[in-house]
């Protein structure tokens, strides 16, 4: 399919009129076409411009920032998808050796950031991984579920990485820099230092979590085989203790304390919940404000953990009472979460 997009394709993929895109090219907001084509990542650049415009930043300011290098970090970002050959869906399906309908299902689950009717070189690698998983016996519906978990979890990781960089690194550099040029140079140097450590850190915590999950599965499997617990009726059924725990009347108390003080209380409570649940081999499934959902493979650990959290919180001067609800039973595992009537009780 080639190594680039025509201006007509770029317009169709981004929803912007062709003439407007040409105007943006003339202003220097977008890259100029070469031999009638722009690189595939120009789609991302258009989306950035669209977002800036929606936030009230005009084209002149965007062009100025691009000229002085303020937006250069996005173009040089090492984790951007590299430019390369583009493949029509049918062509990609033939290259990988899978049915077109299967490829389309993958694309729907993947929610690609680029145009929906072509596949990039990097996505070809993902499609091959999908096929490898299928050959190993993983059904399509399980792969779709896994992809959704990857997307949701790693989107959150990436957001935290960027937000914390902006809050604690970029803001400090912005205050210290004597000129925009110095800010750009120092921010780039900080990014160059931090970027190489991101993927090793993610890999470490993934490996640690995987070891823990394998250990838990070995125990659950042996418990079923020895008759300690009944075998699950379906593949995704698990016998778990579910805990919902939060701070009583935290919302009105937070309003009285103010956001900063309330955030400090919440941070302290979060540390109690996470350390105690880890000590009692539990897992934090989700957090919404001051409320946590935890799961345990046995009810005794769930009760002990809840009592420990309550005891630790009771020693804190500004903490309201801790509330906990615990239920044991069969739950259904779906997309990294636990659902079913025993969760809703």
Q: What is the pLDDT of residues 194-204, one digit of tens each?
A: 999 999 999 99
Is the C-alpha dihedral spanning 256, 258, 259, 265 positive or negative?
A: negative
Band of the pLDDT at 5, cuts 50, 70, 90?
confident
Q: Which two tokens stand for residue 115?
A: 């145009």
Q: Report how far residue 255's alpha carbon sits from residue 261's, in angstroms, rounded to the nearest whole number.
A: 10
* Higher-pLDDT residue of 40, 246: 246
Q: What share of the chain is helix, strand, coil (3-state, %, to 5)?
A: 60, 15, 25
| 133, 140 Cβ separation under 8 angstroms | no
| pLDDT score of 187 more than 80 | yes
10 Å Cβ neighbour count for 143? Answer: 19
Is residue 214 very low, low, confident or very high in pLDDT (cuts 50, 70, 90)?
very high
Q: How many CA atoms lie within 13 A of 289 on its CB side?
A: 10
Is 7-76 a CATH 3.30.1490 domain? no
Q: Residue 239: is its pLDDT beyond 70?
A: yes
> What's the predicted TM-score (pTM) here?
0.80
Contacts of 227 (CB under 8 A, 6+ apart): none
The average confidence (pLDDT) of the chain is: 88
Position 201 scores a pLDDT of 97
Domain ranges of the chain: 7-76, 237-344
Could you please state the CATH topology (level 3) that the domain comprising 237-344 is classified under. Answer: Alpha-Beta Plaits (3.30.70)
| Residues whose CB is less than 8 angstroms from the CB of residue 244 and which lie 6 or more positions away in sequence, other chains included | 291, 292, 293, 294, 324, 325
């Amino acid at each position: 399919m080639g190594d680039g997009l025509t201006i007509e394709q770029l317009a169709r993929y981004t929803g912007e009129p062709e003439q407007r895109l040409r105007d943006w090219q003339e202003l220097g907001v977008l890259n100029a076409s070469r031999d009638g084509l722009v690189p595939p990542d120009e789609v991302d650049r258009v989306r950035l411009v669209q977002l800036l415009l929606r936030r009230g930043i005009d084209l002149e300011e965007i062009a100025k920032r691009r000229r002085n290098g303020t937006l250069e970090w996005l173009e040089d970002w090492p984790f951007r998808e590299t430019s390369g050959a583009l493949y029509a869906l049918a062509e990609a399906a033939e290259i990988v050796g899978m049915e077109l309908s299967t490829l389309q299902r993958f694309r729907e689950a993947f929610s690609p950031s680029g145009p929906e009717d072509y596949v990039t070189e990097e996505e070809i690698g993902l499609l091959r991984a999908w096929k490898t998983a299928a050959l190993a016996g993983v059904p399509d519906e399980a792969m779709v579920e896994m992809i959704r978990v990857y997307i949701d979890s790693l989107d959150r990781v990436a957001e935290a990485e960027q937000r914390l960089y902006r809050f604690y690194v970029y803001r400090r550099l912005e205050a210290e820099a004597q000129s925009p040029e110095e800010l750009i140079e120092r921010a780039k140097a900080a990014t160059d230092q931090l970027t190489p450590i991101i993927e090793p850190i993610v890999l470490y915590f993934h490996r640690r979590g995987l070891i823990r999950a394998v250990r838990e599965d070995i125990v659950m499997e042996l418990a079923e085989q020895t008759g300690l617990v009944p075998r699950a009726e379906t593949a995704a059924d698990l016998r778990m203790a579910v805990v919902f725990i939060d701070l009583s009347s935290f919302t009105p108390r937070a309003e009285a304390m103010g956001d900063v003080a309330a955030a400090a209380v919440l941070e302290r409570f979060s540390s109690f919940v996470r350390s105690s649940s880890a000590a009692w081999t539990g897992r934090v499934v989700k957090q919404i404000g001051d409320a946590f959902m935890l799961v345990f493979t046995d009810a005794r650990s769930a009760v002990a953990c809840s009592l420990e959290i309550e005891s630790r919180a009771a020693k804190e001067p500004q903490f309201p009472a801790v509330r906990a609800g615990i239920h044991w039973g069969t739950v259904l595992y779906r997309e990294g979460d636990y659902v079913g009537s025993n969760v809703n009780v």
